[in-house]
Amino acid sequence: MSSSGSRKVSKTRRSQKSCTNCRLRHVKCDNTRPCNRCARNGVECLSEWIRFKHQPPKIRLSTAANATSNEYKFSEDQTWCSLDGDLEFVDEGKNLQSIYQTEDAADEGGESSQEDSEQITPSQDIGHHGTPDQQLNSLTLDTGTYLSSYHDSTSETSWPMDLSNTRLLERPSSRQHDSPASGSGVHSLGDALTLPPIDSFSPLPTQEVGAHCAEANHAAFTEIPVYRDISVWPLKDPIEAKLMRYFIEKIARRFDLCDPERHFALVVPWRAAFCPPLLDAALSLSARCLSRTTDFDSYISNRYYQRCLNALISTLGIADALKNQDLFAAVVLLRTLEEIDGPLSGADSQSHLLGGHLFASASASEHSSILWSPGVLREPDSLTSLRRAALRVAFRQEVYMAFACRRPVLPAFYLPEIDRCLDNPTDDGTWTNRILLHLVDTLKFCFGDEPMRPDQAMEKHNDLLKYAEEWYVKKPPSFNALFLDENTDRKIAPDIWILSDAAATGLLNYHLLRILLLSFDPHTPRVGPSRARFLKQQDREIKEEVKTCIGLAEGNPECAPHFVLASLGIALAGDRFEERWEKDELMKFLKRAESLHGWSTLAAQRHLAEA
């Protein structure tokens, strides 16, 4: 064999994988970045090119003379550290991906020039050297998303570049120099539906955005518009019109349970016509619900969701943003998206819970707002009612998540202005809010970490149970059952018809509260034959409460929260049902809840099957 020449060692490039969007949709990806499919649909092409080495490379202590080019060189007295436990590898997104890609390029092409290494975008400079506020502002949506003339006015709601009709939440003067960061923030409308072309929605590259803003030489180009003087009604895109109508007729009912003025059905839609983030939030929620109950393309929801989220991120650093009722309503709508996809038990993602927490804290301390409103220079006090309505919806969302995650309610969401005296007559919505506030106290008693002596726990439990029973006895006549449908075979519970959504919601929360108090009863005997009798009676009562929750939901099937609350009861106490036919009925109800309203019950189904 000839050994005249040394073999040329070629470096193996990392194999490219399909992008995340193509892999989730089970379609072929051409492995370019961005891939043609994502570029055609105007969606951000996300990939997982980051490579983690789960063990150190083989090391050979060698001299420089016989070391190969792809070996690491260490001195003979190199100190090595042992690891305590396993390492957790986390993909941190595009920033970390860009670092790895830069390192790979340096390894393959040798040292890059000093000139290339010093070229960074304005957003990267802010991200590494700016203050936390500047880093937050650097995550803004491209001005092309809302201000660009690249929008096709015939295919989707656009927000023209005429700044004379644009209202902004102005940043402080110290931040006027901040440059807009790049980022598509746009997801595809997908291929399943026949839609107008969406190429015009592709964001501008970073360099083009910066040049475009520099040429404009206008401070407003660094801001994202929150309001428009001109309404987008009538909507030009039939898909958007369908989504808005679905929101008004179906989705808004979930938020107006205890609101006789129906703010989310009657106020949010017309305000969304002037507020791009609020419009995107409403359209995203409608599209998500339709995609979970029909063959509607889920990419439509992702598109509006990402656009709204980017707009919210850019405005939360502005001084008066937390006092804005429209942004608060948008956060509430985005929070519902998380609830739909989240399990009925387990850890809370809390991503939009943080935004709701900030808005709720600001709303609790101030109930009036002096912000611009469509058509007027100053917002009248009567229009701030949407802010109060959003606060109460955020409160119900927090109670739901606290119940699902087995934790106390965060104090920022409390409603101190609610009259809790049961001797004062009031409307159905306020009566329901009273039991919700009492449920907050019950969650704190059951899942809080406040230490109590046994006698204190018994006294507290008695007080909680006494108030709940008094609430039920003194409830208004409108809370009584309108009809009991018992003419069904092998049904786990009769349908219970209730007059209003507010009354049904109050009754469901009352029965959930009783499940908690029965499950966390400090009077339970520790030992002896009385313990077995006590637990058997406790199981019977808890099962009756669960059955009543199912009957209330089945008797009022048009309201999604009723099915969600009843599913919470099953997730909490479904394991107490031992008969096969009972478990089958519970499983059938969970599947029906998901098919009717698109609320994920897979985790509850799995837990019930394992019980």
- Residue 34: asked if its preceding bond is cis (omega within 30°), the reply is yes
Q: Indicate whether 206 pLDDT > 60.
A: no
> What's the average model confidence in pLDDT over 6-11?
44
Helix (H), strand (E) counts: the chain:
24, 4
How far, in Å, CA of 221 to CA of 112, rounded? 35
- The Cβ-side half-sphere exposure at 325, using a 13 Å CA radius, reads 29
Burial class from Cβ neighbours inside 10 Å (0-12, 13-18, 19+) for residue 118 reads exposed
Between 291 and 22, the more confident residue is 291
Between 222 and 5, the more confident residue is 5
Lowest mean per-residue pLDDT among 66-80, 204-218, 359-373, 477-491: 204-218
Q: Indicate whether 24 pLDDT > 50.
A: yes
How far, in Å, CA of 142 to CA of 488, rounded? 57
Q: What is the pLDDT of residue 596?
A: 84
Query: What are the residue ranges of CATH 4.10.240.10 in the chain?
Result: 16-50
Q: What is the pLDDT of residues 87-108, one digit of tens each?
A: 665 555 554 454 445 444 544 4
Q: C-alpha distances in angstroms, 334 versus 56, 117, 304?
A: 42, 39, 11
Q: What is the pLDDT of residue 33?
A: 81
How far, in Å, CA of 522 to CA of 406, rounded? 18
Question: pLDDT-based confidence at 263, cuts 50/70/90?
Answer: very high
Q: What is the pLDDT of residues 295-320, one digit of tens each?
A: 888 888 989 998 998 888 888 667 67
> What's the average model confidence in pLDDT over 241-264?
94
CA dihedral 149, 153, 156, 161 (to 10 degrees): 30
Q: Mean pLDDT: which of 157-161, 349-353, 585-589 is highest?
A: 585-589
Q: Indicate whether 424 pLDDT > 80.
A: yes
Query: Taking the complete model, does pTM exceed 0.85, yes or no?
Result: no
Q: Indicate whether 129 pLDDT > 80.
A: no
Q: What is the pLDDT of residues 386-417, one digit of tens each?
A: 888 998 998 999 898 888 888 998 877 777 67
CATH of 16-50, one of 3.30.1150.10, 2.40.128.50, 1.10.10.60, 4.10.240.10: 4.10.240.10
Residue 497: name the closest of 440, 435, 552 by CA: 552
Residue 374: name the closest of 275, 458, 454, 468 by CA: 275
Q: What is the pLDDT of residue 578?
A: 87
Q: Mean pLDDT: which of 215-219, 369-373, 415-419 is highest?
A: 415-419
Q: What is the pLDDT of residues 573-610, one digit of tens each?
A: 988 998 888 999 999 999 988 888 877 788 788 888 88
Q: What is the pLDDT of residue 491?
A: 78
Q: What is the pLDDT of residues 325-341, one digit of tens each?
A: 899 899 999 988 888 87
Q: Regarding beta strands 483-485 and 495-497, do their DSSP bridges make them parallel or antiparallel, or are they unpaired?
A: antiparallel
**Which residue is associated with the tokens 């006590």?**
534
Q: Please give the structure tokens belonging to residue 474.
A: 């003194």
CA dihedral 198, 150, 237, 374 (to 10 degrees): 140
Q: Indicate whether 444 pLDDT > 90.
A: yes
